[in-house]
């Protein structure tokens, strides 16, 4: 570089990261001063009428709008995305074991730490389950709405959603499910519904077991509806109801006395869709009121305990 060449080094400042810095050569030629971008200097210098007498490395700042910083996508998120897509496409079925961490790291060309983070994301979203021991590893689950149930329960415990909202949704969905079920009665469903009613009258051994018995009728009716989305929604609503009741440690004798489902089942078995819907609506309102009372007591207890 010429001994008279001067280089201005950009000094850090408040506005520096909002400016695009371009370095140019200030060249004195036959036609006066010319600014030539440094990256083009080698190509453009032959166009000068004479070899420059002196040049100066100059800095020119061009104002730019305030862009938001773009965060680089985390490697683990991309790995989790590709593994989830592979599961959804059927490359891994329910019960299949995913390749070992070492093999996945080699395949994705990432660290094993990134693989562990990706697997943790998949497990939290319900796509896989991690097992320990000799036969341990990451296994593909039978994808259900259970992870949504857990998410909804967390929202309920944090007072982000309420029981009245849950009751409102059940009041919209379940009468329609009962109406559809009355049109799809079969000998097998008849036997299952009757057995469920009998089991509901057995002595209560635990809150969890009692809730499972009482919800069986709802699950069967959802299956009978013939609509898999309705079935998935009912299963999710039943799961959230069960987990909320268990979290509140409610008295099962108060929450759901035996016999509440009998009018619904009798209407369905007779094939009376209108009566089945009406009976389910009545049940949803009555049980919903019990849930609301349960939630009120639960919130008050938490407040007294300072939780």
Q: What pLDDT is stored for residue 183 in this prediction?
A: 95
pLDDT in tens, 201-223: 888 888 888 888 999 999 999 99
**Cβ contacts of 97 within 8 Å, gap of 6 or more:** 137, 138, 139, 140
Closest CA to 282 of 248, 253, 259: 259
Residue 17 contacts residue 28 (beta carbons within 8 Å):
no
Token duo for residue 113:
């730490």
Distance CA 246, CA 208 (A): 7
Q: What pLDDT is stored for residue 66 in this prediction?
A: 53
pTM: 0.59
pLDDT in tens, 86-139: 988 889 888 899 999 999 999 999 889 989 999 999 988 788 888 888 788 999
Distance CA 255, CA 61 (A): 72
Mean pLDDT of the 32-49 span: 46
pLDDT-derived band at 239 (thresholds 50, 70, 90) equals confident
Mean pLDDT score of the chain, rounded to an integer? 78
Mean pLDDT of the 170-186 span: 96
| Angle of CA points 131, 206, 203, to nearest 5° | 135
Mean pLDDT of the 52-62 span: 41
Helix (H, G, I), strand (E, B) or coil at 196: helix
Out of 1.20.120.530, 3.90.1570.10, 1.10.287.3610, 1.20.1250.20, select the CATH number for domain 146-302.
Answer: 1.20.120.530
The CATH code belonging to domain 75-140 is: 1.10.10.10
The answer on pLDDT for 24 being more than 90 is no
The answer on pLDDT for 72 being more than 50 is no
Q: What pLDDT is stored for residue 255 in this prediction?
A: 83
Where are the alpha helices (H) located in the chain, listed in sequence order? Answer: 41-44, 75-88, 101-108, 112-124, 146-157, 163-181, 187-200, 207-224, 228-248, 252-255, 262-269, 273-305
Mean pLDDT of the 272-298 span: 92
Sign for the CA dihedral angle at 250, 253, 257, 258 comes to positive
Q: What pLDDT is stored for residue 267 in this prediction?
A: 97
Start-to-end CA span in the chain (Å): 72
| Every domain of the chain and the residues it spans | 1-70, 75-140, 146-302
Mean pLDDT of the 51-66 span: 44
Q: What pLDDT is stored for residue 303 in this prediction?
A: 64
**String of DSSP letters for 43-60:** HHGGGSSS--S-EEEEEE
Instruction: Report the length, in residues, of the chain.
Output: 307
């Amino acid at each position: 570089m010429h001994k008279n060449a001067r280089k201005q080094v950009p000094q850090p400042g408040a506005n520096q990261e909002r400016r695009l810095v371009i370095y140019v050569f200030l060249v004195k030629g036959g036609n006066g001063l010319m600014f030539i971008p440094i990256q083009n200097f080698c190509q453009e210098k032959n166009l000068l009428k004479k070899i420059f007498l002196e040049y100066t490395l100059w800095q020119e700042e061009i104002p730019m709008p305030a862009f938001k910083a773009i965060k680089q996508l985390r490697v683990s998120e991309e790995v989790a995305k590709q593994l989830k897509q592979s599961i959804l496409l059927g490359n891994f079925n329910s019960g299949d074991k995913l390749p070992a961490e070492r093999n996945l790291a080699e395949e994705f060309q990432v660290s094993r730490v990134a693989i562990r983070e990706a697997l943790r994301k998949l497990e939290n979203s319900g796509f896989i389950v991690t097992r320990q021991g000799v036969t341990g590893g990451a296994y593909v689950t039978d994808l259900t709405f259970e992870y949504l149930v857990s998410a909804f329960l967390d929202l309920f415990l944090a007072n982000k959603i309420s029981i009245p909202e849950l009751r409102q949704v059940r009041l919209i969905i379940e009468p329609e499910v009962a109406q559809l079920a009355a049109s799809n009665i079969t000998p097998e469903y008849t036997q299952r519904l009757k057995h469920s009613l009998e089991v509901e009258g057995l002595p209560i051994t635990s809150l969890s077991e009692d809730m499972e018995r009482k919800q069986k009728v709802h699950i069967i009716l959802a299956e009978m509806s013939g609509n898999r989305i309705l079935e998935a929604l009912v299963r999710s609503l039943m799961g959230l109801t069960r987990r909320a009741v268990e979290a509140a440690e409610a008295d099962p004798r108060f929450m759901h006395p035996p016999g509440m489902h009998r009018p619904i089942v009798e209407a369905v078995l007779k094939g009376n869709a209108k009566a089945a819907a009406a009976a389910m609506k009545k049940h949803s309102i009555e049980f919903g009121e019990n849930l609301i009372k349960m939630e009120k007591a639960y919130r008050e207890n938490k407040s007294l305990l300072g939780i």
